[in-house]
Amino acid sequence: MIANSRCIACILSKQERKIRKNSDEQKKKEYIHKVLKILYEYGTKECAPMVEKRIKDIYKEYYEEDVDYAVLKHRYNQYMLEKEEEIRAHIQKNNDIETCIKYVCAGNYIDFGVANKIDDQLLQGLLDKVNELKISKKEVAYLEDELAQAKTLLYITDNCGEIVLDKIFIEELQNKYKNLQITAMVRGGIASNDATMEDAEEIGLTNVVPVIGNGAAIMGTVKEQLSEEAKEKIQNADVIIAKGMGNFESMYQEEMNPYYLLLCKCELYKETFGVEMFQPIFCKEERL
């Protein structure tokens, strides 16, 4: 999906905030001019995650990364691992896919690509009140019907922390659909706090299903940047589940037709999908 004009404005605003505390005004102006050039050249023909990757490469020429994502990722992986058994118990009590979907959407709040910081109280509130989140029961039924007939599922993850919830969801799918072959896909390199192979190993997803990287350090699944293995998995999957905003922005209108699972975290998505902030978005592309 080509970057929306509001996405472009948001990207520019995030970059200005990122360098605001730097005292070298001339350097900041030069950097912002470079960002504007990228937005002008690529903002009308590429998805937001790809544009942000180009900006990230320019940022490294001017500044050192001011956020240690390795520390943040470990923190939120452990944070969610501590809640794993409690969440499993709640899911097993409800005994339905719908509850799993609500949890994985709630966990999508852990997104440093959108927010400057994560409010742990808000995250806990989303997890505690997961039963109050609203998703389409009809869409759940569509997914269940497709999975019952499918042989292969490709599950494309998004962020650290929430990947624990992805693991729980995948295990529930394994229990319900015994003949379904599931593969998980993570990012191919460091991209903000997005989950990589290291995160999959840390939280135990690699012990549950085969996990592959997508071949790119981009906050999304950009078709042209994928490894051949990743392209093959996407092409051959009977069903695809794609988590998060970055996957929606990079996969929508790219003939992949996944089920999108994410949390509404910005005004544009609120208006586009007709949901309130911090409510789930769950739909298959062909029905959008």
Kindly report, residue by residue over 10-25, the tens digit of the pLDDT. Answer: 999 999 999 999 999 9
Q: What are phi and psi of 262, to 5 degrees?
A: -160, 175
First CA to last CA across the chain, in angstroms? Answer: 14
Q: What are phi and psi of 256, to 5 degrees?
A: -105, -30
From CA 56, how far away is CA 246, in angstroms rounded? 15
Tokens 């029905």 correspond to what residue?
A: 287
Amino acid at the residue 238: D
C-alpha closest to that of 249 among 57, 30, 48: 48
Q: Does domain 69-287 have CATH number 3.40.50.10880?
A: yes
In this predicted model, what pLDDT tens digit does every residue of 64-98 receive, in sequence order? 877 889 999 999 999 999 999 999 999 999 989 99
pLDDT string in tens for the chain (288-residue length):
999 999 999 999 999 999 999 999 999 999 999 999 999 999 999 999 999 999 999 999 999 877 889 999 999 999 999 999 999 999 999 989 999 999 999 999 999 988 878 999 999 999 999 999 999 999 999 999 999 999 999 999 999 999 999 999 999 999 999 999 999 999 999 999 999 999 999 999 999 999 999 999 999 999 999 999 999 999 999 999 999 999 999 999 999 999 999 999 999 999 999 999 999 999 999 999
C-alpha closest to that of 55 among 23, 22, 33, 71: 33
Domain ranges of the chain: 5-62, 69-287
Partners of residue 185 on adjacent β-strands: 156, 212
From CA 224, how far away is CA 226, in angstroms rounded? 6
| Helices 5-19 & 25-42 angle (0-180, nearest 10) | 160
Instruction: Enumerate residues 6+ apart whose C-beta is below 8 A from 228.
Output: none
Burial class (CB in 10 A: 0-12, 13-18, 19+), 208: middle
DSSP reduced 3-state for 186: strand
